[in-house]
Amino acid sequence: MSESRVTGVSQHEQGATGLPSTSRQYWTEAAHTGALREVRLPQTGPGEVLIETLHSGISRGTESVVHRGEVPDNVTSIMQAPFQLGELPFPVSHGYLNVGVVRQGSEELLGRTVFTLAGHREHVVVPEADCHVLPEDCPSERAVFAGIGEVALNALWEAPVLAGDRVAVVGGGLIGLTTALFASKLPLQRLQVVEIDAERRELIRELGLEAVAPEDAAADNDAVLHSSASSAGLATALQLAGDDAVIVEQSWYGTGEQQIPLGADFHARRLRIVATQVGEVPGPRRMRRTRGQRLATALGMLDPRFDMLISGRSPLAELPSVMRDVASGAPWTRDQILHIIDHPLTENHAFG
């Protein structure tokens, strides 16, 4: 696909509004197969806005499961992205990390840079109420993390993690590091990020967090937040939990089957494994927080440390091959945390 540009947008035919008449969207067409579709520019309805995308982000765990066609049939409706097109398993245009500029709609939002739970599409149409204007001190790239921050905040509320707690985060990937960075804002007695990879532990220390190998991790934790998406990681989480403690499971395994040692001291020590899924606000907050309020809170909690988690970037034209590599665990992607997809507007947009 061509990456030439005209006045900050793709080189498509343009109408009187200055907007292109067509727009590109990334779709998972079949298992292990993604492609860009060129479609008519989406049209707004009452109470909706048209957003021209600056950046979208790859949520490695979820989007790999979707790309490989591993979404269980009985949860396709539950696991759909808020503004996906098509239906799981495929063809589907998934994704939920999008930052762009409002080009049509509410005068209050026109020209503003916003985060939405939309995917890898040059233009998206969403309700005005689902646009979250970026804080003045938040760069557009950092704001891509807002959707992951919502996942992290959900887990902290689910446990719940409280002042003075001893907390372990098992897994130093995108979800784990975002959760740990959010948890570090609380007055905890102890916070450790448990990670098997030595190089990743160095990055974690550069973030100002305590990083330890599994064999060096402290036990007797009040809460353990697990996101490694592996049986070994969940077994470690069980070992690190104190008596009567809670393990919050943040991983999504898709159709994969896991084996964990529940025959050891799981029952004797009265441990709890709690599922957390971002589609709902956790029970302890559900009556007092909407999903929109939760996302706005997460967006406001992003700080400059998140800039260090942007580990790669590619233009939209390369997304089909990038997604293939990410989902297959290609060598160059294994150390990736958040891979940013730059859309044509990125180069020429003047921020105001």
The sheet carrying 210-212 orders its strands as: 210-212, 190-194, 166-170, 221-226, 241-249, 272-275
Residue 302 resides in a domain:
no
- Whether 295 is in a domain gets the answer no
Within 13 Å of residue 281, how many CA atoms lie on the same side as its CB? 14
Residue 345 has a pLDDT of: 73
Can you give the pLDDT at residue 27?
A: 98
Q: Which residues of the chain, if any, have pLDDT below 70?
A: 1-17, 346-352
Q: Do residues 334 and 233 both lie within one domain? A: no
- Specify the pLDDT at position 346: 60
Residue 158 near residue 274, CB atoms below 8 Å: yes
- Give which of 145, 116, 121, 148 is closest to 132, Cα–Cα: 116
259: region left, alpha or beta (phi > 0 left; psi from -120 to 50 alpha): beta
Q: Are residues 202 and 93 in the same domain?
A: no
What is the domain count for the chain? 2
Number of Cβ within 10 Å of residue 243's Cβ equals 10
CATH assignment at residue 63:
3.90.180.10
CATH number at residue 241: 3.40.50.720
Model pLDDT, residue 272: 95
Residues 139 and 67 in one domain: yes
Q: 203 and 264: one domain?
A: yes
126 in the same domain as 12? yes
Q: How far is CA 244 from the centre of its chain?
A: 30
* Any domain includes 292: no
Instruction: Among 275, 292, 319, give the residue marking a domain's end.
Output: 275
Give yes or no: residues 312 and 270 share one domain. no
pLDDT tens sequence across 330-344: 989 988 999 999 998
Residue 18 belongs to some domain of the structure: yes
CA distances from residue 95 to 25, 65, 98, 135 in whole angstroms, order as listed:
11, 12, 8, 23
- Position 254 scores a pLDDT of 76
Q: Is the separation of the CB atoms in 165 and 138 below 8 Å? A: no
Could you tell me the residue range of the domain that residue 254 belongs to?
149-275
Q: Specify whether 240 is located in the same domain as 338.
A: no
CA end-to-end distance (rounded Å), the chain: 30
Tell me, yes or no, whether 61 and 169 share the same domain. Answer: no
Please check whether residues 130 and 18 belong to one and the same domain: yes
Residue 326: alpha-carbon gap to chain centroid: 14
Q: Residues 249, 175: one domain?
A: yes
Q: Is residue 280 part of a domain?
A: no
Does a structural domain hold residue 296? no
Q: What are phi and psi of 48, to 5 degrees?
A: -115, 160
For residue 159, the one-letter residue type is A
Rounded distance, CA 327 to CA 334, Å? 10
Residue at 287 is within a domain: no
Position 72 in a domain:
yes
Is 33 buried (19+), middle (13-18) or exposed (0-12) by CB count in 10 A?
middle
**Domain edge (last residue) among 224, 259, 275:** 275
Do 126 and 167 fall into the same domain?
no
CB atoms within 10 A of CB 30: 13
Q: State the helix-helix crossing angle for 146-158 and 174-183, rounded to 10 degrees.
A: 60
Kindly state whether residues 15 and 56 are assigned to the same domain: yes
